[in-house]
Amino acid sequence: MTHGVDISEVVRQAIFALALIIFAAKCGGELLVRMGQPAVLGELLIGVALGNLGLLGVTALEPLRDNTMLRMVAEVGAILLLFEVGLESDLVQLLAVGWSALLVAALGVVAPMALGFWVSAWLMPDAGWLSHLFVGGTLTATSVGITARVLKDLGKANTKEARIILGAAVADDVIGLMLLAVVSGLVTVAVAGAVPVSGIGWGTISWIIAKACLFLGVAVVAGRRGAQRIFAYAARLKVAGALLAVCVCFCFVVAGMASLAGLAPIVGAFAAGVVLEEVQYKPFVERGERRVEEMLFPITTLIAPVFFVVMGMRVDVRSFASAKVLGFAAVVTLVAIIGKQVCGLGVLESGVNRWAIGVGMIPRGEVGLIFAGLGSSLLVQGQPVLSSTTFSALVLMVMLTTFITPPLLKLAMARER
Amino acid sequence: MTHGVDISEVVRQAIFALALIIFAAKCGGELLVRMGQPAVLGELLIGVALGNLGLLGVTALEPLRDNTMLRMVAEVGAILLLFEVGLESDLVQLLAVGWSALLVAALGVVAPMALGFWVSAWLMPDAGWLSHLFVGGTLTATSVGITARVLKDLGKANTKEARIILGAAVADDVIGLMLLAVVSGLVTVAVAGAVPVSGIGWGTISWIIAKACLFLGVAVVAGRRGAQRIFAYAARLKVAGALLAVCVCFCFVVAGMASLAGLAPIVGAFAAGVVLEEVQYKPFVERGERRVEEMLFPITTLIAPVFFVVMGMRVDVRSFASAKVLGFAAVVTLVAIIGKQVCGLGVLESGVNRWAIGVGMIPRGEVGLIFAGLGSSLLVQGQPVLSSTTFSALVLMVMLTTFITPPLLKLAMARER
């Protein structure tokens, strides 16, 4: 019944590993923030460095790469991060941003998805179409944190361009997550082995799309009603931290249900966040409890970086020695940039700097990484859907698109004048 | 390299288990808070209920009791809780409360320790003296949360009695943790098997005491200097959440070092908290970042209850069917109450309600439970130091002393008038 000394051994390893990873993440984040880049890039880079120390003969950290505990913390970090993103995505407000943002977002999903699928099918014909889907999917989601920052630094945060980009990025997240729901559902079918990957017909695909839409629809509609009831009751709770606890439990349950339904847990976490609009927990805030976002921040700031460091650790630097992999990374990055330039066409208003919109949508970030990470950890017939080299190339793409945006955006905004 | 589907299985189980435990903890806490009792009691009780559902034929939760992931979260919860307690224990301020508080605390440690050891040796002669030590240790630490609450409700929070009790409770925590350091060091020696338990001589004991004092001394003195340097540097960090991350990493590293030194990790976590006085992170607060305690609160409010629910789950209700166990629990509770009545003798000032002081020190809480929990999870020659029945009896004692305090304290304070 008692594990005794093993548990203290497990705990000691866990706290040392967590201390190392969190400290490294913040150091990497700090370095990149000072360079005017987002912290997540530094977390990735430090992860790449830690994960490839073996090349320098330092093998002490090798066990960390496969550590179940660390991977679990990383996954829970991603779940809470997407919950936070969902909390910040107000669907009603998004619709008010107007059709331009939605059209920009839709074009910015379709074009990179199609280009990514095509490039993957062209350069890696043996990889199977599920792999192509994941490459395309990773190219869809925009992370406009860096864009918002650059626009702010340029004093352009309140321009029409800025509002369209930010609105489109939120829509992008929603569409990207729905895409992820469908793709992960397809993988589940393939894993179940009922149908060979090549034999998944339109019937199966339609059923999965229907299931994903159904889950999200039910989660959002029933969740909103259910949440209202739960929170009306929970509002009467007096114990400390009740609001945060109820919200996190709600997030975990919806994420777990998504996982049971064959979707990615983060899809559920995102849906849970969208459902929990501020309205739901007004009684708590009125009572003086802090807002959920505020309470979540210390938790996500501590464990979400673990996810990105672990992602970085999975990048095998040696794979970049191959011209083929580097070439693939270069082409994917190019396609990622070109794919988003179509976005400018979606702007309905006149007098808008269309080039700035296309450039502003370039950076891929958290959601793209989560897409790639999922692809590399799902197994179909014993093989990960995304090979280790493809995964490394995609992480490189995420980093390159982020690095390239600030200078390009400054150029694009200058053109306007 | 990739665990694939197993990881998503592990994550799903983890988030469902955490959602269940956290939700149950808050429900239990809520119930008891409404009854004017501390939330921790409710968390324990709900844990006892969940852990003994098997008696009603519900076995679905049985796997949770041995779940390594859950136990790890529980342990990390206890570590962060003790870190928080340490952060709130200002040693300088404690010394200013005066000698009365220190003397009250010292008497409140020595008397219950001696009585506990004696009762354990008397009623369980076969259990070995390490077990007696743990019983005595569990009886030492006061948890005055409930006392503070009752005094506040009575409008007596600013009396001399209240200040002495609160000061003594802080000193109690420090002495109790040092005791835990020594006792867990003794167990480590016994586990190493170099010396049979019965043969641990005064030389070994002195060495362990010296080591524990050395560790705490070095941690506090060197830690304070080191922390000052680290924080002077960390103050220049710009990345979000840097302060919290640095503090938590510091806590984890000191806790891990304590564990390496053969002490309980929570002893290190407490020392780390004591070291990090507010002075250290002033630059952050001046910059507008929130205080560490404030940032820690959402984390501990979420995962510390997991520790208490897990503790409750380990209580085997069936063991209370035995008259011997119930008798032991009754005697230990009696001794726990009597032992603290000596405290009144430590008050040097006149005109102080000595009975109120003794009564106010009765409740045992978090630190006592951690003591008992450690005793039940440490193995010596394959046997836990505290047997499952002794552990159950001690948890019952913690609950009873807490339940009994409010009415007794009201009586004691009324006497004064």
The pLDDT value given to residue A22: 95
Per-residue confidence band for B73, with pLDDT thresholds at 50, 70 and 90: very high
| Interface-testing mutation among A11, A71, A248, A301, with chain B (most B C-beta atoms within 10 A) | A11
Q: How far apart are CA B160 and CA B292, in angstroms?
A: 30
Neighbours of B256 (CB within 10 A): 23
Q: Which of A309, A332, A315, A305 is nearest to A137 (CA)?
A: A332
Q: Please tell me what DSSP assigns to residue A289.
A: P
Contacts A289 to B, Cβ<8 Å: none
**How close does chain B come to A379, measured CA to CA in Å?**
5
Alpha-carbon distance of A190 to A213, in angstroms, equals 19
pLDDT in tens, A215-239: 777 777 777 777 777 777 777 777 7
- Per-residue pLDDT at B219 exceeds 80: no
HSE value, Cβ hemisphere, 13 Å, CA-based, for B399: 21
CATH number, domain containing residue A100:
1.20.1530.20
Among A39, A42, A377, the residue with its CB nearest the CB of B2 is: A377
Indicate if the alpha-carbon torsion angle A174, A177, A183, A185 is positive or negative.
Answer: negative
For residues B306-321, average pLDDT: 86
Q: Residue B267's closest CA among B184, B378, B168?
A: B184
Does the residue B9 lie in any domain?
Answer: no
Q: Nearest CA to CA, how far is A86 from chain B (Å)?
A: 18
User: What is the pLDDT, as a whole number, of residue A4?
Assistant: 41
Q: Which residue in this structure is represented by tokens 């070995």?
A: B128
Mean pLDDT of chain A: 81
Contact residues for A140 (Cβ-Cβ < 8 A; gap 6+) = A108, A109, A112, A113, A116, A172, A175, A176, A179, A368, A371
How far apart are alpha carbons A369 and A308 in whole angstroms? 8
**Taking 70 as the threshold, does the pLDDT of residue B1 lie above it?**
no
Does B301 sit within 8 Å of A241, measured CB to CB? yes
Across B181-187, average pLDDT? 77
A chain contacts of residue B253, beta-carbon cutoff 8 Å: 15-16, 19
Taking the C-alpha atoms of residue A308 and residue A370, their distance in angstroms, rounded to an integer, is 9
Residue B46 forms part of a structural domain: no
* Helix, strand, or coil (residue A195): coil
The residues pairing with B146 across neighbouring beta strands, listed in sequence order, are none
Task: Give the pLDDT mean for B280-295.
Answer: 70
Q: Which amino acid is at B121?
A: A
Contacts of B5 in chain A (CB under 8 A): 191, 378-379
In chain A, what is the straight-line distance between the N-terminal and C-terminal CA atoms, in Å?
A: 72
For residue A389, give how far its alpha carbon lies from the nearest alpha carbon of chain B (Å): 13
How far is Cα B40 from Cα B31, in angstroms, rounded to an integer? Answer: 11
Q: Give the distance from residue B341's alpha carbon to the nearest chain A alpha carbon, in angstroms.
A: 31
Question: Residue B200: inside a domain, yes or no?
Answer: yes
Cα–Cα dist A269/A81, whole Å: 9
Residues from chain B contacting residue A237 (CB–CB below 8 Å): 26, 30
Taking the C-alpha atoms of residue B190 and residue B200, their distance in angstroms, rounded to an integer, is 8
Question: Above 60 in pLDDT, residue B336?
Answer: yes
Structural domain contains residue B167: yes
Judged by CB atoms closer than 8 Å, whether chains meet at A246 and B26 is answered as yes
Mark yes or no for CB contact A66/B5 under 8 Å: no
pLDDT (tens digit per residue) in A360-380? 888 887 778 888 888 888 877
Residue B261 lies in a domain: yes
What percentage of chain B carries pLDDT values higher than 90? 17
Q: How many domains does chain B have?
A: 1
Across B162-197, b (16+ Cβ under 10 Å) vs e yields bebbbbbbbbbbbbbbbbbbbbbbbbbbbbeeeeeb
Q: Read off the pTM.
A: 0.82
**Average pLDDT score over chain B:** 81
Residues in chain B within 8 Å Cβ distance of A81: none
ipTM computed for the complex: 0.81
Q: What pLDDT, on the 0 to 100 scale, is given for residue B318? A: 86
B80 vs A235, residue with greater confidence: B80
Give the per-residue pLDDT at A200. 60
Q: What are B135-175's pLDDT values in tens digits?
A: 998 898 777 666 777 777 777 777 778 778 877 877 777 77
Contact list, A249 vs chain B (CB under 8 Å) = 19, 22-23
Q: Kindly report the number of other CB atoms within 10 A of residue A345's CB atom.
A: 14
Q: Which residue of A has its CA nearest to B192?
A: A5
**Domain encompassing residue B154:** 81-307+329-416
- Across B365-393, average pLDDT: 83
| CA atoms of B20 and B28, how far apart (whole Å) | 12
Mutate to test the interface with A, among B3, B6, B11 (most CBs of A within 10 A): B11
Residues in chain B within 8 Å Cβ distance of A66:
1, 3
CA distance, residue A289 to nearest chain B CA (Å): 11
- What's the pLDDT score for residue A54? 83
The per-residue pLDDT for B195 is: 52
pLDDT at position A292 is 81
Residue B158 is assigned to a structural domain of this protein:
yes
User: In this structure, is residue B269 part of a structural domain?
Assistant: yes
Around Cβ B350, how many Cβ atoms within 10 Å?
Answer: 5
Confidence label for B385 from pLDDT (cuts 50, 70 and 90):
confident
A60 CA: distance to closest CA in chain B (Å) = 17
